[in-house]
Amino acid sequence: MIGKFVGSMACILVCSWAPLYAQDQSGEGWRFDITPYGWAATQEGVLRIGDQSVKLTSEDYLRKLGWSFSVHAEAQKKEWSILLDALWANRERRGENSLTGSTKSFLGEAGAAYRLSPRLEILGGGRLADVIITISDSVRSLGEGRQTWFDPFVGARWTWPLIPLVGISLRGDVGGFGVGSKFSWNIVAAAGLRLGNFSILLAYRVWDFDYEQGTGADAYEFDMTSHGPGVGLTFHF
């Protein structure tokens, strides 16, 4: 998983959508952005409950997309931004061993960003993950488990206006460090079109967790990469 991260970071840093035009706005007061968005994402990796496990692969990508819903909010004043993000996902996939793995996930994020230049920000915060795993065959459930963990993260964000009213934004962060998961990373790349007090956004996101807890009958493993395109609408206040 770390190898995938390094390769991805060599291509892009990571993206966030709400601040595509924040650096072009003037004034000393607070500015607010709220972005509801949906993701058509697939998963690949390993799920384990007790002695039952299922490996999900990226084969037949288009047929295995599942929808996720998120809300991203930011408050910005001068060089500082406060970041909040919530994501809900419900997916079910058949693995290589004919078992089915399903997950119900919630990811909640809170953090802050500081602008070093008109284009570059550093950021940090924490991400709460709550994931229910169910492994089943064609007849019955073979195991179910739920874990909640907290990951600190650090990262950077880069924004750039391409032409008037059109901009791109890249964001990347890494986290976990053994506090919650062994390691986690998150990459987002977005392009936005500004139309008055709102923006239309197209994005691609990759997020990864390597989390294990317990042994034997109490084993729980969520070693999973989720990725896919998304569309959102940002409201600027």
Q: Per-domain residue ranges for the chain? A: 2-236
Q: Given this model, what pLDDT does residue 219 score? A: 97
Q: Given this model, what pLDDT does residue 232 score? A: 95
Q: Given this model, what pLDDT does residue 69 score? A: 93
Q: What is the mean pLDDT of each run of 10 residues along the chain (237 residues)?
A: 39 41 59 94 93 83 72 96 95 86 95 97 98 94 97 97 90 97 97 94 95 96 94 95
Q: Given this model, what pLDDT does residue 59 score? A: 64
Q: Which amino acid is at 49?
A: I
Q: Given this model, what pLDDT does residue 194 score? A: 93
pTM of the model: 0.85
Homologous superfamily of domain range 2-236: OPCA outer membrane adhesin/invasin (2.40.128.100)
- Could you list the beta-strand ranges (E) of 164-216: 166-175, 183-195, 198-213
CA pair distance 189, 159, nearest whole angstrom? 10
Q: Given this model, what pLDDT does residue 10 score? A: 34
CA pair distance 203, 68, nearest whole angstrom? 13
Contact 175, 145 (CB under 8 A): no
Q: Given this model, what pLDDT does residue 61 score? A: 54
Query: Rg of the Cα trace of the chain?
Result: 19
Q: Given this model, what pLDDT does residue 14 score? A: 33
Q: Taking the CA of residue 219 as centre, how many other CA atoms within 13 Å lie in the half-sphere pointing to its CB?
A: 14
